[in-house]
């Protein structure tokens, strides 16, 4: 077998392996995402396994935190899916919501004591 024949066979094998790898199963879901408020005031986390959002006030300063989930539909309009607040009690608040691939989602988190908001990037499954 000549060198060029061997090269062609090797390249065909690489191409076949690439096709198998790229077509093996459905697209994978997004992984967990977390955004944090400055000064350790709290966080909002998307837990992909179960599609649950966790909103946590992590500083006993008399102010809670507010998490918002927004969705941008394929047509381009943006709407608020839910608002969830945490503070004044033990533990974090959780809000289940099934994130799909029919649009893009963004988490927003604010501290109820004032200041700006923290946003995640847009994501979907």
Whether pLDDT at 24 is above 60: no
Please give the order of strands across the beta sheet that includes 42-47: 33-36, 42-47, 52-57, 93-96
- Please write the tens of the pLDDT for every residue from 57-74: 999 899 999 999 999 998
Kindly state the average pLDDT of the residues 13-33: 45
Q: Would you list the domain boundaries of the chain? A: 29-119
Sign for the pseudo-dihedral over CA of 23, 27, 28, 30: positive
- Compute the distance between CA of residue 109 and CA of residue 34 in angstroms, rounded to an integer: 10
- Compute the distance between CA of residue 18 and CA of residue 121 in angstroms, rounded to an integer: 30
Spatial CA neighbour of 44 closest among 23, 31, 58: 58
Whether pLDDT at 6 is above 70: no
pTM: 0.74
Domain 29-119 class? Answer: mainly beta
């Amino acid at each position: 077998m000549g060198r060029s024949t061997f090269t062609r066979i090797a390249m065909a094998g690489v191409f076949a392996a690439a096709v198998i790898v790229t077509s093996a199963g459905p697209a994978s879901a997004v992984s967990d995402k977390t955004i944090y408020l400055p000064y350790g005031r709290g966080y909002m986390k998307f837990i992909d396994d179960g599609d649950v959002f966790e909103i946590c006030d992590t500083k006993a300063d008399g102010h809670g935190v507010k998490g918002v989930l927004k969705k941008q539909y394929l047509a381009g309009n943006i709407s608020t899916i839910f608002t969830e607040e945490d503070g004044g009690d033990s533990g974090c608040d959780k809000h289940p919501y099934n994130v799909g691939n029919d649009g893009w989602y963004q988490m927003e988190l604010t501290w109820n004591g004032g200041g700006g908001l923290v946003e995640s990037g847009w994501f979907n499954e």
